[in-house]
Each structure stands twice: as C-alpha cells, then as structure tokens.
Chain A
C-alpha cells in the first residue's frame, strides 16, 4: 500500500485538494424521490457512473466500495499509473491523508474494499478527526459533503452524526430524508447537566490523545492526572478538549 502511494505519478501534477467547487456539487442527474426507484440497480449504476464523472476520480470514502470500478486489464498498467488493485478507495484514501495515514485507517479501508456493501450512506460525521488538531482539515468537511451529495444523488436517507464530527452537514437538507444525531445531556439543573457531560469530555480527550479507555465517571479527577507531560502536548490536549466541546 505504501509502495503504491510512493510510486504514484512520478512526473504528474499533485492532486488538487480542498472542497469541491459549487458547480461540481450539482448532481448530474437531479435527485428524485426515494422508495423502490432509488433501489433500482440500473439507476444506482447510472447514478454511480455520473457521480464518478462529477467527482473526477476523487475519493468517496466509505461509499467507495459500493461504486462499480472501471474495468482495467489485469496486471497491465499504463506507464506512471498505479496497479489496478490499488485503484480503489484504498489508494485514494491513502493519497488524501498522505503521511498522516495510520496503519489502522488503511486496515479499515482495506476491509471496506474487500466487502461488497450495499450503497448505504453512513453518517457524514463518521469521519473522525484523528489528529486532534484545533482546526480539522478540509478533508473531513469534504468527505461529509461527498457522502451527503451521494445520498442526495441516489435518493438515500442521510444521517449526519454531529456528535462525532460537527463540521459540514449543510448537505443534510439535500437528502430526501435526513436526520441529525446530537449528543445531549439533560438534568434538572444546568450545573448537574454540565457535571454529567464532563465524563464525555474526558472520554473524548483521552480518545483523541491516544489513550482510549472505558467511559469515565464524573467523579474522576479533571484534568487527567495520568497523562505524561511530554506527550500528548498541552496543545494537543487543548484541541481535543475543544473537539469534545464542539461535538456536543
């Protein structure tokens, strides 16, 4: 996988990154109502082909496995092109994330390629910001946009998991049926609710600073006493705390 990422397009121009332009976001086929027509395999194949053309080969993570792959001769690759078996969402996902790609994410991606899932659109917010940076990359937002665009395009319902990733989500309005998943804590008083929500903050900070564990109780000391001083850095912890607040 890594070799493929290194060997890609030696003399080619770097792939353009960032969010899609407005004109590219317009579905080539206007989305119609859901129901049986949306599940018609011929319509799905047509939509997928049109979507692929609209995205010009850019990745549709998670949903990528459901899209039909373009036919390529086995073993025979053109000069400067990656082998055919790396042409799917794995390679694209690796290229997107570049050096930040972890072994975990490539494994997940490989699994999603190996299993042929129906074109169910997962929550856009499921793209977690692993880096814990204060300003998540536009990739998160772009991925959400693509999943939402795909849902609107093939007439599928779309659920935006705001409690995981609060960025993006405007495409919820485009889907025929949509929902937003939110983290909420209610209590009789505001102070009590805040106290209960602190457990989640601690959980998120631990998760995004590489120390996942069981869901902590609110009696646990705050901030985390067991973290080493050198790593994760203070800024990493601060941005993870910011992320926890942002998604609730």
Chain B
C-alpha cells in the first residue's frame, strides 16, 4: 500500500473488506524516522483516529 493517504485508506478498507477482518495493523518502516511519522500521521487523520497524546 503505497500512495497518498486517501489512496492508501481506500485500498486498506478494500483489503479489510476482502479479508473480513475486524482490525487493520499498519506497518510503516522507513530509513528516516521523520518520514515514518509523516506517513502515519496523515493516514491516522484520514481514518479520523484520535490523537494519543
């Protein structure tokens, strides 16, 4: 799943529906830790997840 947050969200939902899974676990590994955060955050926003401050 590689793309913009909206694209990834769409594919993730399609995947979860295909597997009939209750949950999704998103694994993002990048060399740069900031890039990793920049990947997680917009995806969390796309899914309307609450911030865990």
Contact = CB atoms under 8 A, between A and B. Distances in A.
Whether A and B are associated in the same complex: the answer reads yes
Interface of A: 159-160, 162-163, 169-170, 172-173, 177-190, 193-194, 196-197, 199-200, 203, 215-218, 248
A181 B27 contact: yes
B48 interface: no
B21 A187 contact: no
Interface of B: 1-5, 7-8, 12, 15-16, 19-32, 35, 38-40, 42-43
B4 A187 contact: yes
Contacts, number: 109
Contacts of A203: 29
By DSSP majority rule, is chain A's interface helix, strand, loop, or mixed? mixed
Nearest to B45: A186
Contact of A217 (B12, B31, B42): B31
Nearest to A157: B22
B49 to A, nearest CB: 13
Given A163-B27, A218-B30, 14 more contacts: A177-B22, A179-B22, A179-B23, A180-B23, A183-B28, A183-B29, A184-B1, A184-B26, A186-B3, A186-B42, A190-B3, A194-B2, A215-B29, A218-B31
A189 B25 contact: no
Contacts of A183: 1, 27-29
A188 B20 CA distance: 29
Nearest to B39: A186
B24 A180 contact: yes
Given A184-B2, A248-B2, A179 B21 contact: yes
Given A190-B7, A217-B32, A197 B21 contact: no
10 contacts: A178-B21, A179-B21, A181-B24, A182-B12, A186-B5, A186-B43, A190-B2, A193-B4, A199-B30, A216-B31
Contacts of B31: 199, 215-218
B9 to A, nearest CB: 9
A179 B26 CA distance: 10
A203 B30 CA distance: 10
Nearest to A218: B31
B38 A187 contact: yes
Contacts of A216: 31
8 closest A-B pairs by CB: A179-B23, A181-B25, A184-B1, A173-B20, A217-B31, A186-B39, A180-B21, A197-B2
A160 B21 contact: yes
A196 B39 contact: yes
Given A179-B23, A182-B15, A188 B4 contact: yes
B36 to A, nearest CB: 9
B8 A184 contact: yes
B22 A178 contact: yes
Central interface residue in A170, A184, A216, A248, by most chain B CB within 10 Å: A184
